[in-house]
Amino acid sequence: MANPTAAMLVIGDEILSGRTRDANMHFLAGELTKQGITLAEVRIVADEAPQIVAALRALSGAYDTVFTSGGIGPTHDDITADCVAEAFGQSIDVRADAAALLQAHYDASGQEFNAARQRMARIPEHATLIDNPVSVAPGFTVENVHVMAGVPSVFQAMVASVLPTLTGGAPLLSQSLRIDRGEGDIAGPLAELAAEFDDLSIGSYPFQKNGAYGANIVIRGTDGARVDAAITKLAGIFA
At residue 199, the pLDDT reads 94
Query: What string of pLDDT tens digits covers the 239 residues of the chain?
Result: 689 999 999 999 999 999 999 999 999 999 999 999 999 999 999 999 999 999 999 999 999 999 999 999 999 999 999 999 999 999 999 999 999 999 999 999 999 999 999 999 999 999 999 999 999 999 999 999 999 999 999 999 999 999 999 999 998 899 999 999 999 999 999 999 999 999 999 999 999 988 899 999 999 999 999 999 999 999 999 98
What distance in Å separates the CA atoms of residue 195 and residue 230, rounded to the nearest whole number? 11
Starting from the edge strand earliest in sequence, which strands make up the sheet with 38-45, in order?
38-45, 5-11, 65-69, 145-148, 139-142, 128-130
3-class SS of residue 37: coil
DSSP code at position 184: H
**pTM value?**
0.88
DSSP code at position 75: S
At residue 239, the pLDDT reads 82
- The answer to whether domain 5-165 and domain 173-237 are alike in fold is no
Selection from 148, 137, 132 nearest residue 69 by Cα? 148
**Any idea where the domains of the chain sit in the sequence?**
5-165, 173-237
Q: What is the CATH number of domain 5-165?
A: 3.40.980.10
CATH class of 173-237: alpha beta
